[in-house]
Structure 1
Amino acid sequence: MRVEKDSFGKIKIPADALYGINTVRTVENLSFSNRPLHQYPSYIKVLAGVKKAAALANGSAGLLPTELVSVIAAACDEVMVGCHNEHFLIDVLHGGGGIGTNMNMNEVIANLVNEKLGRKRGSYHPVHPIDSVNLSQSTSDVCHTAIRIAIINEFQALYKVISALITELENKVQRLLDVTTIARTCLQDGMRVQLGDFFSGYVSMLKRRLSSLEEKVDQLHFINLGGTVIGSGLGAPPEYRAVILDKLCEVFGMPLGYRENLYDTAQNIDDLAAVSSELRLLATSLIKIAKDLRLLSSGPEAGFGEIQLPAVQAGSSFFPGKVNPIVPETLIQCCFQVLASDRAVQGTLEHGELNLNVYEGAAGINILEALTMLTHAIMTFHSNCIAGMDANRERCEELSTTFIPVVVDLKEQYGYAAVSSLIKEKGREGIKMLQNGGERNDSSQ
């Protein structure tokens, strides 16, 4: 951001800037994370959409002149398609309950509108950032509403990549149903199992996690625009409140509603925490899948070696030809970051106070980041790992005929006590005899 000061130390904002003094002060006083708002175009788009809906509602309520409504709406449309993202400079994790975010948007829209009306940027006449663009709103209900709609929108991409991964895994299940290998419990040898049956567990788990996540995201359709700061609606005239929800639905083309109690909405962000918890469960489940693939592909000679993962790039700078499970490991590290994001979200819920949770913005940003990270990592995991994965059929066959699977088969035929006693007395030789049928007659005498 180019900001100059005059000889008296007064801030001079560049003439071509769409942002204003409130944005500059937020950047100067409240920045720490190196996460400027322009890195979150999906959030910018929704914030501008909320402002458009508010302008339309204010016009319908007779609070804004028709000619200003149309030009404000046009400016919002420009922002919604990403024309001015470089002017959104505030740190998205700033304090103050999101005031810098709201004011950055108000200033950009006001300057765009005034310029369209032949005024200079920074004049704030006839359209003022607060008196016009922020009319009938507060930071609280604007940011609360926008972050939820942004999360709903971002979830759509994650839904698609998880669904595609499920489909790919279902195909793998069918192709691997004729591959018999060994099961393991406590990392010890177990009975025989079809590799396809084993992978079917991943399919069921991902379907369950996706369904549960979708259910929690659906709850974000209940917002509070019109409730202003603490849910009372003070500052939003009844005429505006009567139409704002319809205008919001119109702008975003989605069904939206109000929470039952808008005081609750301002105070409690457990709906965001619930979404984050579901993302944590999804991440933890994906870690399990990725760790399993690392084990199953370990080797090639001294490990499990039951599956082969595609070699997408050199796995080692030391061992020539070594293929490491780098894609599953990348997914695991993505999921670690999602777990960290969830901890931040739960912290914002835990530390909310009195009438307004001022940490809601941090919760929303962490959820947006978790959604984006998971979308990219799962897409890579699908295309660069699962799609090219195959069974090492010879190795699976070898493992399926080792000692413990044979013992399990004999136990089913002769009973646990008889087989256990025989192993104690004669060890593996006794099992061989039992396989040949001779020991059964001895033990029955």
Structure 2
Amino acid sequence: MRKDKDSLGEVSIPDEALYSSGTVRGAENFRLIGRPLSAYPDFVVTTARVKKAAAIANNRAGGMTEEVARAIAQACDEIASGQHHANFIVAMAEGSGGTSTNMNFNEVIANRAGQILGDELGAFRKVHPNDHVNMSQSTNDVLPTAIKLTCVVAAEPLIASASDLARAFRDKAETYRNALRLGRTCMQAAQPMTYGQLFDGYASGIERAIANVQKARDGLRTVPMGGTAIGTGLGAVPGYRDHIGPALSEEFGFDVSLPADYFDAMQSADAFARFSAELKILSETLGKIAADLVILGSGGNSGLGEIILPSVQPGSSIMAGKVNPVICMMVQQNAFIMHGYDATVSVAALHGQMEINHFEPVIAHALFNALELLTNGCQIFREKCIEGLAIDEDRSYDNLVRSHAMSSVFLRDLGYERVTALVKDAAAKGIPLAENAVAHGLLTEAGIRASLEQAAQGAT
């Protein structure tokens, strides 16, 4: 173990660790409140790239030597490639407003950059955590920038996963384009429709939710780097603001812009709240679809049994042969969890104080977990449920033809009152409406399906 001193005294650090006293104190103080930074590799990589861009901007502005900037950039590149992640030991939801997180990165990068230049760990003679790695920065502009850009990056696999799920529904729509089913409102028989219409509707809802996530994600590309502590830019090298935006854009490969008003950018967390809300809405869209599939697949012989969900595991320890809709239930539960994450972000955004929001660590905790949960949930829903889903077309048609949904077929020709009487007569006789219609000479057996197919297309 090596010893490191700070203003509060001496701490012990493992010999090979790249962090120093600030990290150790933060990790110890918050060790019981959640996963460490290393559990969020997208954030670790993104923050390292933000620090690299800052070193480049400081060098271009004349505040940092080429030698130090190169060493910092190399250390950051190593982190971005997956190295040194075990050194990020502070909890994501730490309570120092992000200072412990920022110092964890500053110390690891400074120690590694110092090694590259021949310095000893913890010496900080050639590269200092505050004077060099944190030059022209503060926790208050670095942390929101890193969280925003992590969300931009992590949204890409979510968008891909959700888009694959939407395409799976489009594929099912084509497979069962003309298969008739009973449309239901208020859990009662309503009108004829097709499974093509049902699954296309599901796909459209998911695609619209994806588009709104993308729009909210794009709003996170405006970052407050250069605002330093409160928006004035005090402490930044002259000219740094001119270089940090282009340096970030170069490093990330997409346009990163600086705010028109730094004070607004550092006071407000509305962009996080907006992005979180769209993630929640996507999860709600999926949860509603999953709930529909649970109902449509319910019970087999004792329920609707119109949709056949893939059997992925036994459903009971006591009822032999029972299989539950566990994947759909997982999707619903994910939506419940997403509501909690969104509430966390919303409350944290509300309670920012004065010039910054010092609850951004818990915003990051909620958003990163939400992104991971939703990305994986979309993949599991598609692979283990939707792709293997089948329709019992005979059962679906039988439920339709036996229902009062047939009444809509006759409204135009017979009028509401006469059709109502026909429905009541069928109920009194204990026979389906379609059978009663045949008995009254309104339809032939052969004409029932054709009428339903035509009715399913509505006004078109």
**Shorter-normalised TM range:** over 0.9
Task: Give the deviation of 1:183 after TM superposition.
Answer: 1.4
Structure 1 residues 392, 3: closer, same or farther in 2, change over 3 A? farther
Instruction: Assess if the C-alpha contact under 8 Å between 2:92 and 2:364 holds in 1.
Output: no
Spell out the pairing of 1:131-280 with structure 2 (5 A cutoff): 131-280=131-280
Q: Which moved more, 1:124-133 or 1:25-34?
A: 25-34
Q: Given the superposition, is the C-alpha separation of residues 406 and 310 from structure 1 closer, same or farther in structure 2, using an over 3 Å criterion?
A: same
Shift of 1:162: 1.0
Alignment match, 2:294: 294
- Take 1:321 and 1:348, find their aligned partners in 2: how far apart are those partners? 47
Q: Say yes or no: does 1:436 pair with 2:439.
A: yes
Going from structure 1 to structure 2, the CA distance change for 1:181 and 1:166 (only over 3 Å counts) comes to: same
Letter in 2 for 1:313: Q
For 2:295, give the aligned amino acid: L
Structure 1 Cα separation of the partners of residues 243 and 423 of structure 2: 79
In the other structure, the counterpart of 2:329 is 329
Alignment of 1:25-424 (within 5 A): 25-424=25-424
CA–CA distance in structure 2, aligned partners of residues 262 and 237 of structure 1: 16
Further displaced range: 21-30 or 411-420: 411-420
Q: Deviations over 1:307-361 (max 9, x none)?
A: 1011122222222222211111111122221111101000111111111111122
Give the Å deviation of 1:435.
3.4
Cα distance, 1:24 vs structure 2 = 0.8
Amino acid corresponding to residue 159 of structure 2 in structure 1: Y
For 2:425 and 2:394, the matched residues in 1 are separated by 33
CA distance in 2, matches of 1:203, 1:412: 32
Contact persistence 2:202–2:289 (CA under 8 A): yes
Judging changes above 3 Å, is the alpha-carbon distance between structure 1 residues 155 and 425 closer, same or farther for their aligned structure 2 residues? Answer: closer
Task: State TM-score, norm by structure 2.
Answer: 0.91
Q: Which residue of 2 aligns with 1:443?
A: none
Give the aligned residue type for 1:42.
Answer: D
Larger deviation, residues 24-33 vs 69-78: 24-33
* Aligned-partner Cα distance in 2 for 1:335–1:439: 47
Q: Give 2:450's aligned residue.
A: none
Deviations 1:181-228 (A, max 9, x none): 211111112222112212221111111111111001001111111111
Structure 1 residues 116-174: Cα deviation after superposition (integer angstroms, max 9, x where no partner): 22222111111110011101111111111111111000000011011111111111111
What percentage of aligned pairs have identical amino acids?
A: 36
Quick one: distance in 2 between partners of 1:56 and 1:270? 29
Q: Supply the AA of the counterpart residue of 2:440.
A: G
Q: Secondary structure at the match of 1:257?
A: coil
CA distance in 1, matches of 2:392, 2:386: 15
* Unpaired segments ≥5 residues, structure 1: 441-445
Deviation at 1:389, TM superposition (A): 0.3
Task: Measure, in 1, the Cα distance between the counterparts of 2:116 and 2:10.
Answer: 28
Alpha-carbon deviation of 1:422? 4.7
In 2, Cα distance between the equivalents of 1:254 and 1:373? 25
For residues 331 and 381 of structure 1, what CA distance do their matches in structure 2 show? 7
Q: Which amino acid counterpart does residue 151 of structure 1 have in structure 2? A: C
TM superposition shift of 1:5: 11
- CA distance in structure 2 between the aligned counterparts of 1:399 and 1:433, rounded to whole angstroms: 16
8 Å Cα contact 2:136/2:237 also seen in 1: yes
Contact 2:161 2:379 survives alignment (8 Å): yes
Query: Relative to 1, partners in 2 of residues 1:331 and 1:18: Cα closer, same or farther, differing over 3 Å?
Result: same
Please tell me whether the aligned partners of residues 44 and 85 of structure 2 are also in contact (alpha carbons under 8 angstroms): yes
Secondary structure of the structure 1 residue equivalent to 2:301: coil
- Please give the alpha-carbon distance, in whole angstroms, between the structure 2 residues aligned to 1:362 and 1:264: 20
8 A contact 2:224–2:259 mirrored in 1: yes
Shift, 1:237, TM fit? 2.3
Q: Which residue of 1 aligns with 2:453?
A: none
The amino acid that maps onto 1:366 is A
Shift of 1:9: 8.5
Per the alignment, in what secondary structure is the counterpart of residue 190 of structure 2?
A: strand
Counting matched residue pairs gives 438
Q: Distance in 2 between matches of 1:303 and 1:433?
A: 24
Shift of 1:408: 2.9
| Stretch deviating more after TM superposition (358-367 or 257-266) | 358-367
- 2:44 touches 2:79 (CA, 8 Å); kept in 1? yes
Q: 1:187 to 1:64 in 2, by over 3 A?
A: same
Give, in whole Å, the separation in 2 of the partners of 1:196 and 1:155.
Answer: 29
